[in-house]
Structures are given as structure tokens and as C-alpha cells.
């Protein structure tokens, strides 16, 4: 008999939006959490790379693995219903679809935060860590009067001052360009919600997408001066979301810099995956 494994489901889910939503969407989300890769070592799947908190599946597989009995009859979701539920989970930023070229490649948002047992240890005051369900600006409770910078640092110690400064500088520049955003109506500081949310996206680019902060700064500098992106990237909250071509906005901008001989070389998603696989093999990962 195989040794049983586990995954963590925080009690914060009781206060989250998904708990009051369609129970079938909740069931699907819990299934995705339990099916995501837990190991910190990436795994190759064809030309894809499955990292911690990710899985590659299909609409049919999700329907088959979540079949249920109703009135004595086996029922299954349609592929169309599964697709709609995934779209809703992505819109609410519980998951992120990386690609659907060779299967449906999904990432669970904030997986590492909630699946690390050490994050649930008590602090020096004997109180449990209070963690928000989604760090992408869709928290269950949003209070703009709290000290967002300190909360962000408590939630994720990897978000340091230089990342926050990068986000602050970007949004201050966008405001100076006369761009419209609800948070631009007041003075921007490191405590501003748009700045904190932007810092979290930069942090993800570093931790999850393995970008360097210097590379990110170069991409943002290009974006605020590019005729197209200066009007189509107002805040950093959606910089990792896919564009119409299925590639995250950040990498679309990065690819465009290939016109600059001193900038980045163009790298498609396929080339990016092949490069990562080569790096993994060079380090002895099989």
C-alpha cells in the first residue's frame, strides 16, 4: 500500500468568496489543489515543465475524475462546463492558466504559501499567522486603511524594499503620464494598494518565473516608453496575465525588446521551456 500523502486546506476558505459560490466550483478547486505537483523539483512533461503548484490535465480528465452519483446515476460535467468553471476560477485569481497547447497547464495561485506547514506555526505572541486567501488584490477582506506594506512583508518576506520601490516608481511615472487609475487620485506611497499589488506581481516574476529584478526593471522602463504599452500597461496587477496570443503580458513586452540590439533576445514560450529543460538537465534533473 502506498504511503498516504496530504495537502493543506486553510480554514480561511470558510471566509473566502469561493465558499459561497457554486459548490461544484469549490469541488473542482479542491481537486486542483490536491492534484498539483507538491515537489519543489520541476518535472518534465513532453516539452512542458511542471513546477510546484502546477498540473497538466485536460477538460475530459477533470470531468472524469470528478464524476459523482446523483439519484443512483453516474453524472459527469461536460467539457464546456469544466471550461467555464476554470475560467471563473482564473477570473477570481484562484488559478492561472499557463497554456492549453499540450494539455491544460494550470498553476494554483499562492500554492506555496498555503502548502507550507511552517506558515501555520504560532508567532511569538501565540497567535496563528493570519493569511489572506489571494495575494493578487482579491482578498476576502480589503482594508485600505491598514499598513499594506507591513502586511505584504508579513505575508511574504521575499517582497523587500527594492521590489516595493520598483513598483512605486513605475506607478508614479504612469500617474505623471496622466494615465487613469482609481489609486492615482491620491498621493502614491509605498502603502498604496496599487503599489503593494504591483510589488506582489514583481515578486512572482522573480520567484515563479525566475526573472531577475534587473530584467524586470528593463522591461518596465521599455513599457512606459513604448507607444503601445504605455497605454496598455497602466498598473502591474495584470502583468503576468496572458495576452490574446496566450503569452503573459510581461513576456510579450520582453519579446518586443528584441528590436533593441542591447535588449533581450526574442524568446517564445516554447523556447523558454526548452531553455529551462536544458538548464534542468545541466543540473542533473531528470
Same domain, 109 and 222: no
Same domain, 74 and 198: no
CA-closest candidate to residue 221, choices 165, 175, 170: 170
Same domain, 201 and 110: no
In a domain, 130, yes or no: no
Same domain, 77 and 180: no
Same domain, 81 and 181: no
In a domain, 5, yes or no: no
Structure confidence at residue 259 as a pLDDT band (50, 70, 90): low
Same domain, 95 and 26: yes
Question: Cell for 132?
Answer: 489572506
Which of the 8 DSSP states describes residue 105? E
Q: Which residue has the cell 506611497?
A: 189
Mind listing the pLDDT tens digit for each residue in 50-63?
A: 999 999 999 999 99
Yes or no: say if 251 and 282 are a contact pair by the CB < 8 Å rule: no
Mean pLDDT of 11-29: 90
Same domain, 265 and 161: yes
In a domain, 137, yes or no: no
Same domain, 35 and 80: yes
In a domain, 133, yes or no: no
Is residue 193 pLDDT above 80, yes or no? Answer: yes
Same domain, 153 and 231: yes
Q: Which helix (H) or strand (E) holds 154?
A: helix 148-155
Is residue 138 pLDDT above 70, yes or no? Answer: no
Name the domain count of the chain.
2
pLDDT of residue 261: 46
Structure confidence at residue 118 as a pLDDT band (50, 70, 90): confident
Domain containing 42 equals: 11-114
Mind listing the pLDDT tens digit for each residue in 62-108?
A: 999 999 999 999 999 999 999 999 999 998 889 999 887 778 899 99
In a domain, 201, yes or no: yes
Same domain, 83 and 151: no
Same domain, 164 and 86: no
In a domain, 34, yes or no: yes
Whole-number average pLDDT of the chain: 79
Same domain, 110 and 176: no
Which CATH number goes with the domain that contains 16? Answer: 1.10.10.10
User: Number of H helices and number of E strands within the chain?
Assistant: 11, 7
Of the chain, the percentage scoring pLDDT greater than 90 comes to 31
In a domain, 134, yes or no: no
pLDDT of residue 146: 41
Q: Is the pTM of this model over 0.75?
A: no
pLDDT of residue 153: 43
Domain boundary among 54, 89, 114: 114
d(CA 32, CA 209): 21
Amino acid at each position: 500500500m502506498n504511503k498516504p500523502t496530504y495537502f493543506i486546506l486553510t480554514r480561511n476558505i470558510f471566509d473566502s468568496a469561493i465558499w459561497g459560490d457554486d459548490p461544484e466550483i469549490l469541488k473542482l478547486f479542491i481537486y486542483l489543489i490536491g492534484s498539483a505537483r507538491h515537489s519543489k523539483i520541476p518535472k518534465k512533461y513532453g516539452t512542458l515543465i511542471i513546477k510546484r503548484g502546477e498540473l497538466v490535465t485536460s477538460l475530459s480528465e477533470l470531468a472524469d475524475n470528478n464524476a459523482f452519483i446523483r439519484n443512483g446515476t453516474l453524472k459527469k460535467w461536460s467539457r464546456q462546463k469544466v471550461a467555464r468553471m476554470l475560467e471563473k476560477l482564473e477570473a477570481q485569481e484562484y488559478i492561472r492558466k499557463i497554456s492549453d497547447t499540450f494539455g491544460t497547464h494550470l498553476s494554483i495561485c499562492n500554492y506555496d504559501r498555503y502548502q507550507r506547514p511552517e506558515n501555520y506555526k504560532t508567532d511569538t505572541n501565540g497567535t496563528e499567522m493570519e493569511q489572506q486567501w489571494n495575494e493578487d488584490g482579491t482578498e476576502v477582506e480589503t482594508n485600505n486603511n491598514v499598513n499594506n506594506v507591513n502586511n505584504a512583508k508579513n505575508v511574504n518576506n521575499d517582497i523587500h524594499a527594492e521590489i516595493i520601490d520598483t513598483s512605486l516608481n513605475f506607478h508614479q511615472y504612469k500617474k505623471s503620464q496622466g494615465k487613469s487609475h482609481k489609486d492615482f487620485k491620491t498621493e502614491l506611497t509605498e502603502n498604496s494598494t496599487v503599489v503593494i499589488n504591483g510589488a506582489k506581481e514583481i515578486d512572482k516574476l522573480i520567484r515563479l518565473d525566475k526573472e531577475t529584478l534587473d530584467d524586470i526593471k528593463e522591461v518596465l522602463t521599455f513599457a512606459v516608453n513604448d507607444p503601445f504599452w504605455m497605454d496598455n500597461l497602466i498598473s502591474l496587477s495584470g502583468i503576468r496575465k496572458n495576452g490574446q496570443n496566450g503569452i503573459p503580458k510581461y513576456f510579450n513586452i520582453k519579446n518586443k525588446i528584441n528590436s533593441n540590439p542591447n535588449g533581450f533576445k526574442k524568446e517564445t514560450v516554447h523556447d523558454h521551456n526548452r531553455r529551462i529543460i536544458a538548464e534542468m538537465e545541466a543540473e542533473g534533473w531528470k
